[in-house]
Amino acid sequence: MTNTPAAPDLSKSDAGRRSSAPPVTENGDGAADPDHHNESIWARLRSRQTTWIFLVLVVIVAFFAIKGGDRFASTGNFLLIAQNLVVLAVLGVGMTFVIVTSGIDLSIGSVMVFASVVSAKTMAAMDGSGGTVVLVGILTAIASGAVWGWINGILVAKAKIPPLIVTLGTLSAALGLAQVITSGNNISIMKVTGLTDFGIYQRILGIPALVWVALVIVVIGGIVLHKTKFGRYTYAIGSNEEAARRVGINVDRQLILIYLYTGALAGVGAVMYLAQFGTTTIAGATLTNLNVITAVVIGGTSIFGGIGTMFGTVVGLFIPAVLQSGLVIIGVQSFWQSVAVGVVLIAAVWVDHSRRAAALRGAKKKSTPRRKGRSRDSNPSSTPATSSSTQQ
Amino acid sequence: MTPILEARGLSRSFGSVRALDEADFDVEEGEVVALIGDNGAGKSTMVKAMSGNLALDSGTVLFDGRQVALTHPSDATRLGIEVVYQDLALAPHLDPTQNMFLGREIAAPGLLGWFGFMNNKEMRRKARQSFNDLGGTVRSLTSPVGNMSGGQRQQIAIARAIAWANRVVFLDEPTAALGVVQTRNVLEAIKRVRDTGIAVVLISHSMPEVMEVADRIQVMRLGRRVATFKGADTTMEQLVGAMTGALETEGQSS
Ligand SMILES: Nc1ncnc2c1ncn2[C@@H]1O[C@H](COP(=O)(O)OP(=O)(O)OP(=O)(O)O)[C@@H](O)[C@H]1O
Ligand SMILES: [Mg+2]
């Protein structure tokens, strides 16, 4: 387009402020992407909490590998750890989206229990143990999870009730209904061998099938979050909802979809749980929501929205799981795992916080950009009442 | 010539504050109209009303002479109306390119685009071009906007509006945080945009700036338009007089 006559003055005036900065390159369409030129890969990595937290995981793994030897550092043990994480990982995918929008979903564990109860009851009522039954079980679980997610989404997006309150309510309601449906008794689906065999015995390339399922879902979730418009709008809403609305993003629809998908993923988690254990565990999911939120936050997703990665969530899942496994193997009471996870959680958020505060040198992050000078709020007397009589 | 955009008798109260009180406004194709007035006169509220960001108590908005209902920002966007808001309305965690293309991402070619994938490289290229046209103070296109200076953020918001407007662009105090050179660039950009036939509405507290670029100047006071001047033959005294109410100019308003 047109040239920029002011460019020479500009680089001169900038030289005083940022002497180390390279001059502005004018050829924006060169082969090499000019916008990465002053940020090395290392600088970009270093600025991410995910990188640090990944190093923490590496250190923990190394520590237990040295202390615990082969009993810890064996393929079998790592697969066991992964296997114990499959359900949480699937729930974590949805939770990452929710938290990036600056929301929260406390109901996720209850919704999973509800979905597993509905699904198990349906499967138990059907004849047979194979294909059709399993398919119906999967669909009912996903559908009943999605319904709860949809309710969450509608209440958050349309009724404008804070997500904390909405999902606290559905946490209670979904669990209560699960108990009503079953009179509090767990339902076994051991007879549906099509599902339990898959969950317990099936391996692909030596790795349990459920781990593959979780991996695929995590990878798809990561691609959607980081590479698609859907993901970008998710960040935009968490970053500045008003700005997102003003550029015409359908914020309500986006929020409803995110909560709905999260509920549907809880349904998927329910099926995986049933496949793994062959029975519902109505009382067994009271901490599931907090475990998932902990993992997401340890992984660097900001509870205030706008920041987060799917890879971080995976790392955040592994830290508590590795601690648990490692502590047992080296003979420390596993209760210490809870203590360690708590410390890691707070430390992770604190490090992230102080690092960001240092980077911004005290500038506030979430506030709308500062204006120079005037502020309409602080100047109510700018239209003196005495002059109103001159109006027409 | 019918104005592109015209407001008739807009009213809106916030509690006991009448932010707009039977306010009129109009802007024609290819002209720069300055909207001036004291703090709290209702300028920003007027912009919100004409960009689908405000529910009105009464009054009508006409676009190309036809009455339109602007109930949502996307209504205005569809008509080719863009706004640089006083609070800029950027997403601080997204980078300049992502902000510039937010809601209008360029899809990746082929099937990938259908799945919602984006052509980030092309978007960066176009964004770089737009920022360079404004004087290129935006250096990194890949770091979050929240870490940038007020002036850089302002440039991003301006570049976004200019890039997408094809009928009307509102600039609510676009130079408030800018340095001398950057202010010049914005004023030049305003003239360039006007010369392409787009209507520009400039809100500013800087009288020299207003008198330099404006073809017409409309003065608001206490929620209504109290005067309209031709940009060329206006004195500072007249403008200040109309803004403060010292000068009764109601008869001159169009
Ligand atoms: N959302 C709102 N809620 C309550 N009052 C509001 C709101 N928006 C505007 N007002 C009031 O309406 C009046 C006009 O405000 P407006 O922002 O339009 O002024 P302005 O002319 O843009 O002033 P400035 O030059 O300071 O930007 C002010 O008294 C303001 O306090
Ligand atoms: Mg204003």
Give yes or no for a contact between A35 and B150, defined as CB atoms under 8 angstroms apart.
no
Amino acid at A53: I
pLDDT at residue B38 greater than cutoff 70 = yes
CB contacts < 8 A (A, B): 175
- Beta-bridge partner residues of B200: B32, B169
Q: What is the pLDDT of residue A10?
A: 32
pLDDT at residue A1 greater than cutoff 80 = no
Q: Which atom of ligand 1 is nearest to the CA of B38?
A: 25
Give yes or no for a contact between A208 and A145, defined as CB atoms under 8 angstroms apart.
no
> What residues contact A240, with CB distance under 8 A and at least 6 apart?
A306, A368, B89, B90, B91, B92
Closest CA to A194 of A136, A143, A133, A139: A133
Rounded CA separation A112/A286 (Å): 11
pLDDT at residue B251 greater than cutoff 50 = no
Closest Cα to atom 12, ligand 1: which residue? Answer: B19
State percent of chain A over pLDDT 70: 78
Report yes or no for ipTM above 0.85: no
Least-confidence region, from A54-58, A97-101, A167-171, B1-5? B1-5
Give yes or no for a contact between A21 and A38, defined as CB atoms under 8 angstroms apart.
yes
Minimum-distance CB partner of A232 among B98, B125, B221: B98
Closest Cα to atom 28, ligand 1: which residue? Answer: B40
pLDDT tier at A41 (50, 70, 90 boundaries)?
Answer: low
Across the interface, whether the CB atoms of B85 and A224 are under 8 A apart is answered: no
Q: pLDDT per residue over A255-266, tens digit each?
A: 999 999 999 999
Mutation target to probe the A interface, by most A beta carbons within 10 A, among B14, B46, B132, B173 is: B132
* Pairwise pLDDT comparison (A355 vs A83), residue with the higher score: A83
Closest CA to A93 of A151, A48, A149, A144: A149
Tell me the nearest-neighbour CA distance from A268 into chain B, angstroms: 22
pLDDT tier at A132 (50, 70, 90 boundaries)?
Answer: confident
Rounded CA separation A224/A218 (Å): 10
- B9 φ, ψ to 5°? 60, 45
B-chain residues near A97 (CB < 8 A): none
Least-confidence region, from A29-38, A118-127, A259-268, B212-221? A29-38
Which residues line ligand 1 at a C-beta cut-off of 6 Å?
A 374, 376; B 14, 17, 19, 37, 39-45, 86
Rounded CA separation B48/B75 (Å): 12
pLDDT at residue A366 greater than cutoff 70 = no
Q: pLDDT per residue over A191-222, tens digit each?
A: 887 788 888 888 889 889 999 999 999 999 99
Let me know how many helices (H) and strands (E) chain A has, helices first.
Answer: 15, 2
Give yes or no for a contact between A313 and A236, defined as CB atoms under 8 angstroms apart.
no
Q: pLDDT per residue over A335-352, tens digit each?
A: 888 888 888 888 878 877
A-chain residues near B94 (CB < 8 A): 232, 235-236, 239, 306
Closest CA to B146 of A357, A122, A350: A357
Q: What is the pLDDT of residue A30?
A: 35
Mutation target to probe the A interface, by most A beta carbons within 10 A, among B50, B106, B128, B186 is: B128
Rounded CA separation A381/A35 (Å): 47
Model pTM score:
0.82
When pLDDT is averaged across residues B100-128 and rounded to a whole number, the result is 91
pLDDT tier at B75 (50, 70, 90 boundaries)?
Answer: confident
Q: pLDDT per residue over B179-231, tens digit each?
A: 888 888 888 888 888 888 889 999 999 888 888 899 999 999 888 898 888 87
Across the interface, whether the CB atoms of B91 and A387 are under 8 A apart is answered: no
Q: pLDDT per residue over A304-328, tens digit each?
A: 889 999 999 999 999 999 988 898 8
Give yes or no for a contact between B190 and B214, defined as CB atoms under 8 angstroms apart.
no
Closest Cα to atom 5, ligand 1: which residue? Answer: B14
When pLDDT is averaged across residues A24-50 and rounded to a whole number, the result is 50
Distances (CA, A) of A234 to A98, A101, A270, B222: 8, 6, 25, 40
Q: pLDDT per residue over A220-246, tens digit each?
A: 999 999 999 999 999 999 999 989 988
A-chain residues near B135 (CB < 8 A): 4, 6-7, 10
Give yes or no for a contact between B213 and B35, defined as CB atoms under 8 angstroms apart.
no
Tell me the nearest-neighbour CA distance from A234 into chain B, angstroms: 11
- A120: tokens are 């198990």
Across the interface, whether the CB atoms of B40 and A379 are under 8 A apart is answered: yes
Minimum-distance CB partner of A36 among B73, B142, B184: B142
Give chain A's mean pLDDT. Answer: 80
Minimum-distance CB partner of A248 among B86, B103, B128: B103
- B25: tokens are 């406004």
Give chain B's mean pLDDT. Answer: 86
A-chain residues near B106 (CB < 8 A): none
Three-class secondary structure of residue B154 per DSSP:
helix
Give yes or no for a contact between B154 and B174, defined as CB atoms under 8 angstroms apart.
yes
Q: DSSP letter string over B18-68?
A: EEEEEEEEEE-TT-EEEEEESTTSSHHHHHHHTTT-S--SEEEEEETTEEE
pLDDT tier at A119 (50, 70, 90 boundaries)?
Answer: very high
* Pairwise pLDDT comparison (A23 vs A277), residue with the higher score: A277
Least-confidence region, from A175-189, B31-45, B140-154? B140-154
Tell me the nearest-neighbour CA distance from A134 into chain B, angstroms: 29
pLDDT tier at A248 (50, 70, 90 boundaries)?
Answer: confident
Amino acid at A258: I
Closest CA to B76 of B168, B190, B196, B174: B168
Secondary structure in 3-state letters for B103-134: CCCCECCHHHHHCCEECHHHHHHHHHHHHHHC
Place of tokens 């237990």: A64
Q: What is the pLDDT of residue A47?
A: 63
State percent of chain B over pLDDT 70: 96
Neighbours of A136 (CB within 10 A): 15
Mutation target to probe the B interface, by most B beta carbons within 10 A, among A37, A239, A250 is: A239
For A158-197, b/e burial (b = at least 16 CB within 10 A) is eeeeebeebbebbbebbbebbbeebeeeebebebbbbbbe
When pLDDT is averaged across residues A51-79 and rounded to a whole number, the result is 89
Q: What is the pLDDT of residue A40?
A: 60
Q: What is the pLDDT of residue B27?
A: 92
- Beta-bridge partner residues of B227: B219
